[in-house]
Structure 1
Amino acid sequence: MKHLYFILGLILINIAAFAQTGTIKGTINSADGKPAAFVTVGLKDTKKGALTNEEGQFILKNVKQGDYVLVISYTGTKTIHKSVTVSAEQTTDVTLALEATAAQLNEIVVEGTKTSTINKSPVNIGKIPVAAIDLPQGVAIIGHETLEEQQVQRMSDVVKNVNGVYMASSRASTQEAFNARGYAFSSTNMFKNGARVNSGVMPEMSGLEKVEILKGSAAILYGNVAPGAVMNMVTKQPKFNFGGEVNVRTGSYGLLKPSFDVYGPISSKVAYRIDGTFETTDSYRDKVHSKRYYVNPSLLFKLSDRTEIVVQGDYLKHDFTPDFGIGSLDNTKIPDVPRNSFYGTPWQYAHTQQSSAGASIRHKLNDVWTLNGMVSYQHYSRDYYAVERIQADATGKWARPLNRTFNSEEYYLAQVDLNGKFKTGSLEHNVLAGVDGDRYNTKAYTYNQPATYDTINILNPDLYKPRTDIPDAVRIKSVTTPINRIGVYVQDLIKITPKLNVLAGVRFSYLQNEAPATYDYKSGQTTKTAAKYDDAFSPRIGIVYKPIETVAVFASYSNSFTPNTGLNVDSTSLDPSVIDQYEVGVKNDFLKGKLSVNVTAYRIKNSNYAQTAPFQKDGVTPNNNTNLKALIGETLSRGVEVDIAGHPLPGLDVIGGYSYNNITIASSTGLNGSSIKGERLVGNPNHTANANVFYTLQQSALKGVKFGVGYYYIGQRFGGWNNTVNQSQKYNRLISAPGFSTLDLSAGYTFKRISVLAKVSNVTNTYNYYVHENYSINPIPPTQFVGTVSYRF
């Protein structure tokens, strides 16, 4: 077998050696010398092309030697033709300038569209500077044009554009919980500018440049993440040309949201950007209110042609009414009540704050190696007091339980990546080596408050008179839990031939859960439980074959582990989950790269899937402690995804697709209390689909008018709890939520620097639910209106 590999390697090397090719690279600037990003660069009468990055740079590799015409085009500007000569094993450098200034280009973007597709766009989340088509896994990129056109308010609006990722629940409307390919996102899977963020807060959308989602395995790059996908929110970055925008968004139920975004140079070496917003709104739910404040300043220091530093921070404050929706009857049924029915108190509250500060450095050591580093700090806190867990009996009678909590988290991160592009013989390497470390320090307070507030009837509110006073709650304990993590990783994307890439790498992760410290305020005593340590190697291998320039076929395998936090009902630590992921697919570019159509199939096995324990140790008393977990057995997720995105015609933007997922409990001990083999895991639909089409008129007297249609479908799924062998409850614990579709209609107009957008969402007024376990069942919004007026300068 070794001889076979050796012979095969020689054959591949010889094939590459006979290809007499060269490289064209260069920079495209605006008329006033600023970098021109996302300009289309192509070779006439060939299928080769690229987009300039944010520094105006492009590169065309493996170009056969000869004479060519380079075509540089950008929507709304004059196309440039430049003759170039390519020599074997040589690099041809080109520097050109468009006729428009940077300010004019910025205005053109407003009126037109960019021609990037999901396959040709560079992907920050992959940590190596390659296009998505060269990675052996699925990628989704939602750019700022889409975020603006759809007038997204929350992350749940964004993920409607991403097949295989969906909102699974909205517990008390305090946070949005997402699943990917059947597995739950957590704080370990959500990132902002490459740093983890706490998922307990709903992130602000107005400050984002784009959202990147890396589907499948990401453990080698990001450590102890859950399987399915990771999400990276990329904020708006400083620019050296002055500009900005102010806008006001208004809508149904008292929505008012003014925003601003200003950027420009401080000097020839320093640029700034600051954006922010204020939002206030009521709700289609009675007595529910929300108020948000957000600001995001950043500075870019261009220390030299090789070194730049970005320093940024953000602050989000969100005050809102916890809302557990309409609840359940007898833990098995969704009550037939009006969408606006609110069963909380008039005083309950949640005050959430999240602030962060960070700095990143990019230093080009030479033409081969680039060093990227980052440090980040984040603080998160939530002060919460409410009645919760709407679990009424069959007649609607419900004793309202109280819960008072305060949680805070300090998070520190540092990471360094070394990226190198070089050749060994005819093989091209794109090497990534890195180390990262982070520390969580979480603190949770518990209070002595009445267990039950009062009794009401959700089916007949007139039967009882509800209380309105605020009970006293005294702080009695605090639990401090420090967690330390460190990871070392290396991977190499090897271009064996122009058609064949191989990606191989490995990560070593070490996780230390320090002994949690419990402080008793009455006795003044501190007690500690045992510390826990986990470590593992996470290998990854993938292959990409491009039979033609516009088609890539890929396959990959990875193995990783995810530590399971919390304790079981016997107060002992849970074993980590070992995860195997397989993924195959094909990525296609059509219409000269203007439309991408990708198909992916996957298989993910989790050896120890952990959920919040539904009951305490006695098996009867409902568990309200999210730190109390249970391993339900081995789960198996299998599925197929189709992703479509691009700009097939001038002014036409298209995003759409379909996903099928089947995640089941694949094995069980069969003992009392264990999960039932073959049952579908709660929270996951078998089918999702989406389509979003925007068209902007280009040439008529109505130039600048745009229309949009958005469609979203999520299939039948289960809430509640998965059933167990010989469970004490005689009924089926699964709560079936039917599938539903929503339709959105948009229209807008852009004239010079002013634009107006309007949207009517859920046009058909569909009534359905997001179900979290069996106590927070939240109706989806009814038909609503939102409009935005913007001025760019």
Structure 2
Amino acid sequence: MDKTTPRRPALILLATGLAAATPVLAQERPAVGDPGAEPGTLRTVTGENGEVIVTAPQYVPLGSVTATKSDIPLIETPQSVSVITRDQIDLLDFVDAQQAVRYAAGVYGENYGPDARYDFFTVRGFTPKQYIDGLAAPVTTTISSVGVDLYGFESLDLLKGPSSTLYGNVPPGGVYNETSRRASPAFGGEIRAQGGTDDFKEVAGTVTGPVADGLSVRFTGLFRDRDLVADHTNARRVYVAPTATWRIDPRTTLTGLVYYQYDRNTGGNGGFLPAAGTLLANPNGRIGQRTNLDDPRDVFERRQSAEGYELIHDFSDALSFRSNAKWSRYRERTPIGIYATGLTNTTDATLPTYYRTVSQANFSYAEDVTSFATDNRLSASVATGPLHHKLLAGVDYRRVDNVAAYGFAGANTIDAFNPVYATPGTSLLPGYPTRYNDQVLKQTGVYGQEQARLGQLFVTLGGRYDRVRSAYLTPFVAVGTPGARTKADQERFTWRAGADYVTASGIAPYLSYATSFEPVLGTDSVTGGAFRPTTGRQWEGGVKYDARGLPSDVKLFATAAAFDLHQDNVVTTGANGALPVFGTQSGRVEVYGGEVELIARIRDRLSINGSYSYNHSEIQASGIAAEIGRPLPTTPKHKASVFVDYDLQRGPLRGLGIGGGVRHTSGSAGSLPGAFNPVVLYGQAATLFDVIVSYDMPGWRIALNGSNIADRRYVARCSGINACFYGAPRQLLGTVTRRF
């Protein structure tokens, strides 16, 4: 099942067919006239000669705990990692994670336009698993994202390629980890107001500081009210996140982390338009980008929350212990989910319904997920003769309880070129009568890692043993149907090895090999045996550069990488695909390619974000002959992007900033061929332009951002003949921020 696809088509087809991370490291230049803002964040100061200087000490990442669960710098990490820091997010005014990865290498987002519920993107052909503060998020049965708001995080880290050595059962494309904002012992914060196209309105803020000796707190909050692209749609969000850090003694720190988010979307989410009239020709013309073939009465409602802690204790300068834990809850309801299912008449041109009347169905969905996750590890630094060692040993555990149910009923018809919505009460309300998932999953992993240094040579080795236990009730039967739980136990050892050589000038060639696995529920329909885990393996080589030989006010990090990634034991599903998956374990996938990425901040005035990615994906073996030789969905061969921003520091226009960017993505397959997709449709290639104009003064920032400023209209993806999605249209956002 393609987990990047919104839930409705996947489930309807089934129904009808049936770390803790720390802030990144960076050098910070001193300035005169600092208004006292929170240290380590984007702020504006006055220089010695009256210059207006926008400092962004974390714009260029030099470290990421996500990559190694330790303080090993990125330059010494033999694997591709993209880090989108809070300074980048604030300077470029990204609204969500899909926007934040626009200029990152090897990552493809916004395949469904500006979805306000989840963060949809793929990494090297696969949907990455989401982590929050180093612990797995309580993702739903089919969507690998919980959609927590980007404003609540200090950074978003993308660890690319197989990563099971540290994180257990994950897809071969990698993981992404979002690090929550933390309390600071220095007082500071901001309040921000935004407004823009599609009636976008938002107020957000964060404040932090000490409240007692050794105790610091932070509160972050957000309220957003926006319309979506399609007519008659609206999305509202409330997000709050208190946190506190208690420095118990000079060697012990305890941080408490809490968040709560409420979402209510009405009118549907747009999309699910027929290919005829969007990607393909239609005798009646083109269906408008804002056409809504859902229903204004549609409701998507979600509540999610989590409470957790991070405990750090340093036994000495060479030995430390870190413990993380999180209790999470996720509740989603769609009592009314009317959407378009396809054209009713594509053969008789004499009828007025020809290529314009679309049938509708009502798909209701409910899901509850509760989870507990903990990760505990020891790290040590020791020397044995000429060798210096950084050692890591840990154990993590998580339990996930997932209950999901749905209903399905036919609804109305609607004119795709002149939508008139049925009067209230005419649509059937099916409730949630059918079980989709009722599962308990437990995972325990024991892992170890060593980085050995000999002069300028660094060798990293890691291994992990996982045991995953799951028990589930038979799906696609009436809720409450009695039956014994089917139990499945799967075990796997994964490992990785890599080496890099860091020169005095900051150039570091590297080579690595890594493996991954994911458990698969169900029984092979051919062999009759339980499915084995799906496995991944990857070779990667490249070079990194951190500009350590350049002046201190030139900050730069660049990576060039080539990789060859394989996935084995892929389950090929039949026409009655289900969860647990029904099919045979005969699939094999290869993805190979290369990436180049550059992030720079020069003299606190020039910022550069640029990347290029090439991905060749191919299904090499499958139980469905039509799949062999096909590329993976939403995996374009080419993605190129660059953004440049320049701030004037002197003269009558000092404080003014101007920036512009261009993004190009080639077209990619929207699905794999099969019973429900006899014709594979490719999304359109698109070249998009972004701009930013800003004005900064101490304590204040005013900015106007434009995304897809030329308003290029294109079909980003068709996951089926009746499920096409336009890409994100032009968005203009004005932002006023008061920092203190």
TM-score range, shorter chain: 0.7 to 0.9
Asked whether the equivalents of residues 123 and 174 of structure 2 are also in contact (C-alpha less than 8 Å), the reply is yes
CA distance in 2, matches of 1:108, 1:508: 41
CA distance in 2, matches of 1:461, 1:270: 58
Residues 382-531 of structure 1 correspond to what in structure 2 (within 5 A)? 382-384=332-334, 385-388=336-339, 390-392=341-343, 394=346, 395-447=355-407, 451-459=409-417, 461=419, 469-478=426-435, 479-497=437-455, 499-516=456-473, 525-531=481-487
Alpha-carbon offset, residue 134 of structure 1? 0.3
Which residue identity is paired with 1:606? Answer: Q
CA distance in 2, matches of 1:251, 1:738: 27
Which residue of the partner structure matches residue 43 of structure 1? none
Which residue of the partner structure matches residue 792 of structure 1? 739
Q: 1:142-186 CA deviation, whole Å, 9 max, x = no partner? A: 11121112211111101112110112633986433211011122x
Task: Pick closer, same or farther for the CA change 1:575–1:173 going to 2, 3 Å.
Answer: farther
CA distance in 2, matches of 1:401, 1:257: 33
Q: 1:730-788 CA deviation, whole Å, 9 max, x = no partner? A: x9521011210111111111112121111122111101123252143221232221111
CA distance in 1, matches of 2:450, 2:325: 25
Q: Does 1:650 align with 2:607?
A: no
Which residue of the partner structure matches residue 564 of structure 1? 520
Bigger drift between 338-347 and 324-333 goes to 324-333
Q: 1:181 aligns with which of 124, 127, 148?
A: 124
Query: Secondary structure at the residue paired with 1:528?
Result: coil
Which residue of the partner structure matches residue 93 of structure 2? 151
CA distance in 2, matches of 1:458, 1:100: 57
CA distance in 1, matches of 2:86, 2:212: 27
Alpha-carbon offset, residue 202 of structure 1? 2.1
Query: Secondary structure at the residue paired with 1:698?
Result: coil
Residues 210-289 of structure 1 correspond to what in structure 2 (within 5 A)? 210-289=155-234
Query: Secondary structure at the residue paired with 1:157?
Result: helix
Asked whether the equivalents of residues 142 and 158 of structure 1 are also in contact (C-alpha less than 8 Å), the reply is yes
CA distance in 2, matches of 1:247, 1:281: 16
Which residue identity is paired with 2:127? Answer: A
Asked whether the equivalents of residues 684 and 717 of structure 2 are also in contact (C-alpha less than 8 Å), the reply is no
Query: Secondary structure at the residue paired with 2:669?
Result: strand
Which residue of the partner structure matches residue 587 of structure 1? 544
Asked whether the equivalents of residues 223 and 509 of structure 1 are also in contact (C-alpha less than 8 Å), the reply is yes
Q: Does 1:539 align with 2:495?
A: yes
Q: 1:180-213 CA deviation, whole Å, 9 max, x = no partner? A: 011122xxx1111111222443220112211111
Which residue identity is paired with 2:315? Answer: L
Query: Secondary structure at the residue paired with 1:735?
Result: coil
Which residue identity is paired with 1:299? Answer: A
CA distance in 2, matches of 1:503, 1:107: 32
Bigger drift between 308-317 and 281-290 goes to 281-290
Q: 1:667 aligns with which of 609, 621, 624?
A: 621
Q: Does 1:312 align with 2:270?
A: no
Bigger drift between 551-560 and 509-518 goes to 509-518
CA distance in 1, matches of 2:40, 2:446: 41
Q: Does 1:777 align with 2:738?
A: no
CA distance in 1, matches of 2:440, 2:293: 37
Which residue of the partner structure matches residue 744 of structure 1? 690
Alpha-carbon offset, residue 632 of structure 1? 6.8
Alpha-carbon offset, residue 713 of structure 1? 1.6
Which residue of the partner structure matches residue 77 of structure 2? 135
Residues 292-303 of structure 1 correspond to what in structure 2 (within 5 A)? 292-303=237-248
Asked whether the equivalents of residues 408 and 443 of structure 1 are also in contact (C-alpha less than 8 Å), the reply is yes
CA distance in 2, matches of 1:519, 1:119: 47
Alpha-carbon offset, residue 424 of structure 1? 0.9
Task: Pick closer, same or farther for the CA change 1:345–1:51 going to 2, 3 Å.
Answer: closer
Which residue of the partner structure matches residue 324 of structure 2? 374
Which residue identity is paired with 2:562? Answer: A
CA distance in 2, matches of 1:258, 1:101: 23
Alpha-carbon offset, residue 392 of structure 1? 2.5
CA distance in 2, matches of 1:107, 1:396: 53
Q: 1:339 aligns with which of 285, 289, 295?
A: 289
Query: Secondary structure at the residue paired with 1:148?
Result: helix
Task: Pick closer, same or farther for the CA change 1:206–1:415 going to 2, 3 Å.
Answer: same
CA distance in 2, matches of 1:519, 1:772: 26
Task: Pick closer, same or farther for the CA change 1:391–1:304 going to 2, 3 Å.
Answer: same
Q: 1:30-69 CA deviation, whole Å, 9 max, x = no partner? A: xxxxxxx98xxxxxxxxxxx846xxxxxxxxxxxxxxxxx
Which residue identity is paired with 2:444? Answer: I
Q: Does 1:608 align with 2:542?
A: no
Task: Pick closer, same or farther for the CA change 1:178–1:421 going to 2, 3 Å.
Answer: same
Residues 620-639 of structure 1 correspond to what in structure 2 (within 5 A)? 633-639=587-593
Q: How many corresponding residue pairs?
A: 682
Q: Does 1:712 align with 2:646?
A: no
Query: Secondary structure at the residue paired with 2:468?
Result: strand
Asked whether the equivalents of residues 58 and 86 of structure 2 are also in contact (C-alpha less than 8 Å), the reply is no
Alpha-carbon offset, residue 700 of structure 1? 2.4
Asked whether the equivalents of residues 438 and 473 of structure 2 are also in contact (C-alpha less than 8 Å), the reply is yes
Q: 1:193 aligns with which of 109, 130, 133?
A: 133
Sequence identity (%): 22
Asked whether the equivalents of residues 116 and 594 of structure 1 are also in contact (C-alpha less than 8 Å), the reply is no
Task: Pick closer, same or farther for the CA change 1:453–1:633 going to 2, 3 Å.
Answer: same
CA distance in 2, matches of 1:128, 1:439: 24
What's the TM-score once normalised by structure 1's chain length?
Answer: 0.80
Query: Secondary structure at the residue paired with 2:78?
Result: coil
Query: Secondary structure at the residue paired with 1:645?
Result: strand
CA distance in 1, matches of 2:154, 2:213: 24
Task: Pick closer, same or farther for the CA change 1:102–1:190 going to 2, 3 Å.
Answer: same
What's the TM-score once normalised by structure 2's chain length?
Answer: 0.86
Q: 1:231-275 CA deviation, whole Å, 9 max, x = no partner? A: 111121101121211111111111110011111111111000001
Which of 1 and 2 has higher RCO (CA within 8 Å, sep 6+)? 2
Q: 1:688 aligns with which of 602, 619, 639?
A: 639
Query: Secondary structure at the residue paired with 1:146?
Result: helix
Alpha-carbon offset, residue 537 of structure 1? 0.5
Runs of 5+ consecutive residues of structure 2 not aligned to the other structure? 1-22, 45-52, 347-354
CA distance in 1, matches of 2:362, 2:632: 29
Asked whether the equivalents of residues 26 and 58 of structure 2 are also in contact (C-alpha less than 8 Å), the reply is yes
CA distance in 2, matches of 1:293, 1:115: 30
Which residue identity is paired with 2:361? Answer: P
Query: Secondary structure at the residue paired with 1:238?
Result: coil
CA distance in 1, matches of 2:277, 2:462: 47
Which residue identity is paired with 2:686? Answer: F
Task: Pick closer, same or farther for the CA change 1:736–1:568 going to 2, 3 Å.
Answer: farther
Alpha-carbon offset, residue 280 of structure 1? 0.2
Q: 1:550 aligns with which of 485, 488, 506?
A: 506
Query: Secondary structure at the residue paired with 1:526?
Result: coil
CA distance in 1, matches of 2:625, 2:110: 23
Query: Secondary structure at the residue paired with 1:720?
Result: coil
Task: Pick closer, same or farther for the CA change 1:332–1:257 going to 2, 3 Å.
Answer: closer
Query: Secondary structure at the residue paired with 1:514?
Result: strand
CA distance in 2, matches of 1:154, 1:119: 19
Q: Does 1:112 align with 2:54?
A: yes
Task: Pick closer, same or farther for the CA change 1:682–1:317 going to 2, 3 Å.
Answer: same
Alpha-carbon offset, residue 467 of structure 1? 6.9
Structure number with larger C-alpha Rg: 1
Which residue of the partner structure matches residue 209 of structure 1? 154
Alpha-carbon offset, residue 691 of structure 1? 1.0
Which residue of the partner structure matches residue 14 of structure 2? none
Query: Secondary structure at the residue paired with 1:718?
Result: coil
Which residue identity is paired with 1:558? Answer: A
Task: Pick closer, same or farther for the CA change 1:175–1:650 going to 2, 3 Å.
Answer: closer
Alpha-carbon offset, residue 658 of structure 1? 0.2
Q: Does 1:359 align with 2:316?
A: no
Asked whether the equivalents of residues 112 and 271 of structure 2 are also in contact (C-alpha less than 8 Å), the reply is no
Which residue of the partner structure matches residue 126 of structure 1? 68
